[in-house]
Amino acid sequence: MALASFANELGWQHLSGLALQHYNRAICQTQKAIQDPKSADADDALAAVLLLSSFETVSTDVAFCTKNWTLHVRGTCALSRARGATLLDTAFGRKMFMQVVGSVQVDCIQSRTRLPEPLQAVMKLMADSHLSGPRQGLQRIVGGLINLRASVAEGESTQASEVIDVAMRLDKEAQLLESSMHMHPEYRYTVLQADGIDTCGETRHLYPSTSATLIWNSVRMLRIVFNDVVVSQLSESEVQVDGSAAALRVCKARATVSRICLEICESAPRAAVLDTGHDAFDHVAAINFSIWPLFKAGSAALAPAVVRDRALAKLTELGHRHHVQRACIAAEQLKRRDHDDVWMHINHMF
């Protein structure tokens, strides 16, 4: 994976080929390991498949790598189901399980399918064991979105009022999660005044870690989705009546999404900071974790054009200045008004 990342940054194709050789060898070794009942139950086997899925996040062929990533994620799901509650016996196992759940959840969101029952059962065990926090809260809300999308796709939820009620309830849960994160030392961010260098708005956000930024922007993207669902389900005739409940709801949704999109822009890595040379891996990770949120802000129908343009500008700068090709690909999609984000979830693991 390191070779592939380095090859992408420098544009050296011969290193990409070497990275692919190591990748193919690792796949063969992992396949042998998981075919052995003894080694298949080990934490190492699950960790290996998770690492293989991470390799796909550095490929520039987004269609091909998304397909491979999905196969790896479904492999981790199968291994997790076989392990069951024993995954929670160790701290390392619990961390891996959270990674598996996050990966499977984004796969379910994109495919509009439900989270497998065995994973839901283990998640409930974690909740019952008081293993909770912002990350677990986020995954519960994501689970609600998964069920909503699957219900609509399966024809279970056909009434607009029902869909609106669920979306508004989930958005309220997301607001409560935001409030709790503001009080949590590992997630609480500092709002700084802009100094005129590489800022999108009047302020910029400084987070305690890349992981905290990832969780915050994940919640923000969810809130964009929930507000978009609400507006899309409203009757056009009701919306056009000044002062109606529907019209007021649209105004509120637009204001909320506009603010959230600005927060995403102000949370993106600053090029001036990235150029300092400290911990380059974290910087690249921060940029990759910003691709989907910035794309979401740049394609948000409820946000004003000036906010969408800011997101596009930030995405373009990060991609070109730091040679992150996927950021460049996402920026080009926005320029073409191609809002299909089907591949971007593999860069955004929570």
**Chain segment 34-55, per-residue pLDDT in tens:** 777 777 777 777 777 777 776 6
pLDDT digits (tens, 9 = 90+) for 241-283: 666 888 889 999 999 999 999 999 999 876 544 444 444 445 7
Place of tokens 């905290």: 212
The pLDDT score that the predictor gives to residue 95 is: 76
- Count of residues in the chain: 350
Tokens for 1? 């994976």
Q: Where are the domains of the chain?
A: 1-132, 163-350
pLDDT of 128 over the 90 cut: no
**230 vs 109, more confident:** 230
What does the pLDDT average to over 145-154?
Answer: 89
Which of 302, 310, 309 lies closest to 268, judged by CA? 310
Helices then strands, counting H and E runs in the chain, come out as 16, 2
SS (H, E, C) the chain: CHHHHHHHHHCCHHHHHHHHHHHHHHHHHHHHHHHCHHHHCCHHHHHHHHHHHHHHHHCCCHHHHHHHHHHHHHHHHHHHHHHHHHHHHCHHHHHHHHHHHHHHHHHHHHHCCCCCHHHHHHHHHHHHCCCCCHHHHHHHHHHHHHHHHHHHHCCCCCCHHHHHHHHHHHHHHHHHHHHHHHCCCCCCCEEEECCCCCCCCCEEEECCCHHHHHHHHHHHHHHHHHHHHHHHHCCHHHHCCCCCHHHHHHHHHHHHHHHHHHHHHHHCCCHHHHCCCCCHHHHHHHHHHHHHHHHHHHCCCCCCHHHHHHHHHHHHHHHHHCCCHHHHHHHHHHHCCCCCCCCHHHHCCC
Q: How far apart, in whole angstroms, are the C-alpha atoms of residue 281 and residue 142? A: 28
- Residues in contact with 98: Cβ distance below 8 Å, sequence separation at least 6, in sequence order: 135, 136, 139
The pLDDT score that the predictor gives to residue 139 is: 85
Alpha-carbon torsion (315, 320, 326, 331), positive or negative: positive
The pLDDT score that the predictor gives to residue 350 is: 44
**237 vs 102, more confident:** 102
The pLDDT score that the predictor gives to residue 197 is: 47
Q: How far apart, in whole angstroms, are the C-alpha atoms of residue 88 and residue 101? A: 13
The pLDDT score that the predictor gives to residue 293 is: 95
The pLDDT score that the predictor gives to residue 13 is: 61
Q: How far apart, in whole angstroms, are the C-alpha atoms of residue 158 and residue 163? A: 8
Tokens for 235? 């009757």
The pLDDT score that the predictor gives to residue 226 is: 96
Q: How far apart, in whole angstroms, are the C-alpha atoms of residue 150 and residue 210? A: 31
pLDDT digits (tens, 9 = 90+) for 292-322: 999 999 999 999 999 999 999 999 998 888 8
Highest-confidence segment of 6-10, 179-183, 267-271: 179-183
- State pTM to two decimals: 0.79
The pLDDT score that the predictor gives to residue 276 is: 43
